[in-house]
Structure 1
Amino acid sequence: SITVSRSRATANGGYDWAVSFHNVNSPGTIAVLGSFADVPGGIVTVATTAERTTALAGYLGLAFRGVDFDDFFPVDATAEEFEAILESHNGMRDVRVTRSDPTSNGASEYRVTFQSLFDAGGVPLITDV
């Protein structure tokens, strides 16, 4: 569920809005797509005050070019571990993997760069299984 509340009007006629998500299935990211404030000095700010989600745990299976990987990898794998698993796949050559810092629930983003001319051009998605 989601709770939305609005403050009383401020001195310049603006409002403070609070949006709270109460379960882990709610969207994780809200982006401000634009500000329509036409009051001189009007601003839009977004702040995350608390993140309360279940920590990630377990393993993930992947497939590339329709073939499943032999190994599963832990969801908290280092970039080097993930790279080694990717390069063990028959359909993949030399790759470079970087990993973002984990979020409060342990989630990370992995970026895979294909470095082989074999994989030049459009490469199919790596999918989960």
Structure 2
Amino acid sequence: MTTTAKHDARFATMTFSSVYPHYITKVEKKGRTKEELHQLIEWLTGFDDEKIQKLIEEKVTFETFFEKAKLNPNAPLITGMICGYRIEEIETPLTKQVRYLDKLVDELAKGRKMEKILRKG
């Protein structure tokens, strides 16, 4: 399966604040915490709790969210399937970045140990 510029366009207009509550629900339903979610967001993007809250309040799009992020150099180590796509084969940059975040949230919800989620390289 290949992604297209249409995927990026869809993510570009979607707000982080509209998806964030779903991330919280997903991880808490599986016994994980908001703090752990924030830890993985910070690992991927460099955003601390205060910055995450500010971006939510500003209702930034995923495009702006990832433009402001300093993506972890180990992010390409995030591989596998998410939503029917193999992450390492996604060619459109924004779609790949959003799927990195989705994959980390999935791993957290599935009970994976935090040291495994936060790839060290």
Which category of TM-score, normalised to the shorter sequence, fits these structures?
under 0.3
Structure with the largest fraction of strand: 1
